[in-house]
Amino acid sequence: MISQSKFCIVDVLQKIIDKLRVIEYIKAEELEISVMEVHGIFEIGKIGEITINEFSKILYLDKNSVNKLVNNLVDEKFLLRHIHPENKRHVILKLTENGQKIYESIRDDFNLYFKKILGYVPEDNKEDISNDFRILLKSMEDNN
Mean predicted confidence (pLDDT) in 91-109: 95
- For residue range 26-80, list pLDDT tens digits in order: 999 999 999 999 999 999 999 999 999 999 999 999 989 999 999 999 999 999 9
89 near 43, Cβ under 8 Å?
A: no
* SS3 at position 94: strand
- 1.10.3720.10, 3.40.630.30, 1.10.10.10, 2.40.30.170: which CATH number matches 4-119? 1.10.10.10
Which backbone phi and psi does 11 adopt, to 5 degrees? Answer: -60, -45
Q: Where are the domains of the chain?
A: 4-119
Measured CA to CA, the distance from residue 144 to residue 125 in angstroms comes to 29
> What band does 136 get if pLDDT is binned at 50, 70 and 90?
confident
The per-residue pLDDT for range 81-93, each reduced to its tens digit, is 998 788 878 889 9
pLDDT, mean over the chain: 89
Pair 98, 77: CB distance under 8 Å: yes
pTM of the model: 0.83
Question: 22 versus 96: which is more confidently predicted?
Answer: 96
The answer to whether the beta carbons of residues 34 and 28 sit under 8 Å apart is yes
The strand pairing partners of 93, in sequence order, are 50, 81
